[in-house]
């Protein structure tokens, strides 16, 4: 996209900021100033439609889209395990960015590490608020880093950008008062914990594949122990995965399912129907992925009452159940349907808890998700998925 004048984009930016303020996502005057000073279109000159084809647009249509409160796909990578292109970078929805930045409760002089530079837009907002020397941002993709650096420099911003594995943090720039991850992880990387100052905080999208819609805000004890603890928030978020390999879209391997060694059983059709009914509930899906490490899909097909439920895990285990007959088939290394059924019973026994009733404890020896309070023995170990080696 060619250079455009301020008169062309300023009206769009002003309207976006007004919308964010009216929605309650943007309230702090420092962040309002940052959003005014760092125009989003500079970081999104090339957009991709959800079908991953280049978008041919007029100048005004492009600006209108850029300044909507939407996430914009900006890079894709072919994923052999899925045999398709998968988005690997985007410009996060501005309303979510504003909420996350305000949740960090930043103060002058704080040092921040951002995991997942992407377009560089969020790094630009941070640099405007804190100053270049206080912001470090890292991304696995060197091309993204170089593009972000050019765009930031065009706005006279120069936060410290690094190409590397964000899971390892940035030890030579540590310690950090705040860490913000604009990518998802299945557990809390130890490096992030150790590189955080005592009393510091990190904002993380800890998720699995079937329910990724929440952030957790974790704080570190002021005693200096390497432990963070905190709740899942009622803030929807579903970021792309942090990756060890820039050539792969997913951080884990997908093993094919097999019909070998399968078992077939029958249960009460009403039991299958109850699980089918709840299988689309985000709260239940969140709960299921706590029980089944590596669950990759949980889908329902056909309209009730002839519904089929199908689930698969990254290790190739699978299960299929039918509401009309109660017939169940499952195969692989785990009896997947048995675990889903047990999780459903427990979820209902616990009064169908939403994610906001859960929290996370992570330290150098253990990591787990707890229910209601951190000394509750109703807990589930992390990670939710296994990184490829």
Average pLDDT for 87-106? 94
Contact 237, 185 (CB under 8 A): no
Q: What confidence tens digit (pLDDT) does each residue in 71-93 have?
A: 999 888 888 777 788 888 889 99
> What residue has token string 């094919």?
256
Where in the sequence of the chain do the CATH 3.40.50.150 domains occur? Answer: 73-231
Q: In this predicted structure, what is the pLDDT of residue 259?
A: 76
Task: Mean pLDDT check: name the lowest of 5-9, 315-319, 353-357.
Answer: 5-9
- As a whole-number percent, the residues of the chain with pLDDT over 90 amount to 73
Superfamily of domain 73-231: Vaccinia Virus protein VP39 (3.40.50.150)
pLDDT at 56 over 50: no
User: E strand or H helix at 91, and its extent?
Assistant: strand 84-91
Confidence of residue 52 (pLDDT cuts 50, 70, 90): very low
Q: What pLDDT digit, counting tens, does each position of 131-149 carry?
A: 999 999 999 999 999 999 9
Which residues make up the CATH 3.30.160 domain(s) of the chain? 263-349
pLDDT at 172 over 70: yes
**254: closest CA among 205, 224, 296?**
296
- pTM for the complete prediction? 0.92
pLDDT, one tens digit per residue, over 202-248 is 999 999 999 867 899 999 999 878 999 999 999 988 899 998 888 88
Strand pairing partners for 114? 137, 180
Residue 51 has pLDDT above 50, yes or no: no
Instruction: List the alpha helices (DSSP H) in the chain.
Output: 6-22, 29-37, 59-66, 94-103, 121-130, 142-154, 190-194, 269-278, 282-291, 336-349
Q: Distances from the Cα of 121 to the Cαs of 37, 182, 380, in angstroms?
A: 11, 11, 35
Is it the case that residue 389 has pLDDT exceeding 90? no
The structure tokens 């579903």 sit at 238
Residue range 263-349, CATH number: 3.30.160
pLDDT at 108 over 50: yes
**Confidence (pLDDT) at 387:** 62
């Amino acid at each position: 996209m060619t250079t455009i004048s301020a008169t062309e984009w300023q009206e769009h930016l002003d309207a976006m900021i007004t919308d964010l303020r009216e929605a309650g996502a943007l309230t702090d005057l420092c962040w309002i100033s940052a959003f005014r000073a760092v125009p989003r279109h500079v970081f999104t000159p090339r957009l991709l439609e959800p079908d991953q084809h280049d978008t041919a647009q007029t100048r005004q249509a492009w600006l209108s889209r850029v300044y909507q409160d939407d996430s914009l796909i900006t890079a894709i990578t072919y994923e052999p395990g899925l045999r398709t292109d998968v988005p690997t970078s985007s410009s996060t929805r501005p309303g979510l960015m504003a909420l996350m930045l305000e949740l960090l409760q930043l103060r002058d002089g704080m040092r921040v590490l951002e995991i997942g530079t992407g377009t560089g837009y969020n790094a630009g907002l941070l640099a405007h608020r804190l100053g270049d020397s206080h912001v470090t941002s890292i991304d696995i993709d060197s091309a993204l880093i170089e593009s972000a650096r050019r765009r930031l420099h065009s706005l006279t911003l120069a936060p410290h950008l690094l190409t590397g594995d964000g899971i390892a943090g940035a030890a030579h720039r540590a310690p950090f008062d705040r860490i913000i991850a604009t990518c998802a992880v299945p557990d809390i990387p130890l490096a992030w914990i150790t590189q955080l100052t005592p009393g510091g905080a990190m904002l993380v999208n800890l998720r699995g594949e079937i329910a990724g819609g929440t952030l957790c805000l974790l704080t570190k004890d002021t005693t200096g122990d390497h432990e963070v603890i905190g709740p899942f928030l009622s803030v929807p978020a579903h970021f792309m995965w942090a990756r060890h390999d820039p050539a792969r879209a997913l951080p884990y391997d997908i093993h094919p399912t097999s019909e070998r060694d399968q078992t077939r059983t029958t249960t009460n059709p009403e039991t299958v129907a109850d699980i089918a009914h709840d299988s689309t509930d985000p709260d239940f899906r969140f709960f299921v992925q706590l029980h089944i490490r590596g669950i990759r899909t949980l889908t329902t097909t056909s309209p009730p009452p002839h519904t089929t439920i199908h689930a698969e895990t990254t290790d190739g285990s699978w299960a299929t159940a039918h509401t009309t007959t109660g017939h169940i088939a499952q195969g692989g290394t785990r009896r997947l349907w048995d675990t889903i059924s047990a999780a459903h019973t427990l979820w209902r026994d616990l009064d169908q808890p939403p994610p906001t009733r859960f929290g996370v404890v992570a330290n150098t020896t253990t990591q787990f998700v707890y229910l209601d309070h951190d000394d509750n023995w109703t807990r589930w170990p992390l990670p939710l998925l296994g990184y490829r080696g």
